Amino acid sequence: MSTQNPMLEFAKAMASVERLRLIGALVRGPATQAEVAAQVHLPVREVHDHLAFLVSVGAVREEEGRYRVDEKSIEALVKSQFEGKRAEPDLVESESNDVRKILRAYLKSDGTLAHIPTDSRKLRIVLKFIVDVFPFDATFTEKEVNAILRRFHVDTAALRRYLVDEGFMAREGDGSRYWRVKLEAA
Per-residue model confidence as pLDDT tens digits over 114-173: 999 999 999 999 999 899 888 888 889 998 898 889 888 999 999 999 999 999 999 999
DSSP 8-state secondary structure symbol assigned to residue 85: -
Give burial (CB, 10 Å; 0-12/13-18/19+) of 159. buried
What is the structure's pLDDT at 87? 40
Per-residue model confidence as pLDDT tens digits over 41-70: 999 999 999 898 888 888 899 999 999 988
* Residue 128 exposure: Cα atoms within 13 Å on the Cβ side: 16
Residues 6+ apart with CB under 8 A from 112: 151, 152, 153
Per-residue model confidence as pLDDT tens digits over 65-98: 999 988 888 777 777 665 544 444 444 444 578 8
Give burial (CB, 10 Å; 0-12/13-18/19+) of 121. exposed
pLDDT at 37 over 50: yes
Q: Indicate yes or no: pTM above 0.75.
A: no
Share the mean pLDDT of the chain.
83
Cα–Cα distances in Å, from 181 out to 35, 54, 128, 137? 44, 30, 11, 10
Query: Among positive and negative, which fits the CA dihedral 20, 26, 31, 36?
Result: negative
At 11, is the pLDDT very low, low, confident or very high (cuts 50, 70, 90)?
confident
In order of start, what are the domains of the chain with their CATH numbers? 6-79 (1.10.10.10), 97-180 (1.10.10)
What is the structure's pLDDT at 82? 58
pLDDT at 20 over 80: yes
Strand ordering across the sheet containing 178-180: 139-140, 178-180, 169-171
Q: Are 52 and 93 in contact (CB under 8 A)?
A: no
